[in-house]
Chains A and B, each alone.
With several copies, the nearest count.
Chain A
Amino acid sequence: MSLVINKNFNNDKNVWNIELKGEIDIYTANELKKVLIEVVSINPQDIILNASELEYIDSTGLGVLIGVLKRLRQQGKDIHIIEAKKNVKKLFNITGLDKIFKVEG
């Protein structure tokens, strides 16, 4: 019932690598929002979200990602979601957001 967020900027590839561990819900979504908005403000580049240890996401979390994606798109940048678990992928699939975000691997 908590969320750990690790971020680091990859200078070679010019992308943000962000690792999500735990659960994104109404309790933790604000934390995610804060980190992503900060990251995008510092340096608006592609974000690669590693979701291999993300156990849970719901509409609140998806809403945060949509908000950040909208900002990034204005700069021609994207959000990639990699290594998502089956249940997390399912949320992207049923909402059609797998067509908006780059959900990979």
Chain B
Amino acid sequence: MPVINNEEIGDKIIESIDMTVPSKPEYVGVIRLTVSAIANRMGFNIDEIEDIKVAVAEGCTNAIKHGLDDKFYINFEIGSDSLSIVIKDNGKGCNVEEIDEPDLLNLKEGGLGLFIIKTLMDEVEFVSKKGKGCQIKMIKFLGDDI
């Protein structure tokens, strides 16, 4: 599975926080608080913090629900004008081509997570291969929303 190269981000990477977390539902709330604190410290406004919180939780939820490994990884890259988050698991993986966009005329109980992440974040890259785990990278730029 190709690992996303940090150099692809425009701004210089300043600082990085890594976490390894058990694949258990009860820890998604812990990560929501952690990423809120990071985004708050960086100067994102309340609405942006909320967006980041939801997107990160969706990524973690997927790692737990679909990855089915016993743990997953998060990396926060705190740039001067962006927060970039990578959520990675070495679990079941999936075939990216087979993922459908949500369809309001044919509602399903699942399938909204990736769509929500793409809507709330500025840049999203989803990489996965069956049996080879999954990696999602999402970026939010500072001072983008008015």
**A95 & B28 in contact (Cβ 8 Å cutoff):** no
Task: Report the count of interface residues on B (CB-CB < 8 A).
Answer: 30
B144 at the interface (CB under 8 A from A): no
Residues of A within 8 A of B116 (CB): 58-59, 91, 94-95
Interface residues on A, range: 20 to 34
- Interface stretch, picked from B7-15, B92-100, B102-110, B133-141, is B102-110
Number of A-B contacts (CB under 8 A): 71
**B54 & A58 in contact (Cβ 8 Å cutoff):** yes
Q: Give bound CA distance, A97 to B104, whole Å.
A: 8
Chain A residues within 8 Å of B, Cβ to Cβ: 1, 23, 25-27, 56, 58-60, 62-64, 66-67, 69-70, 86-87, 90-91, 94-97, 99-100
Chain B residues within 8 Å of A, Cβ to Cβ: 25-26, 28-30, 32, 37, 40-41, 47, 50, 53-54, 57-58, 61, 64-65, 102, 104, 107-110, 112-113, 115-116, 119-120
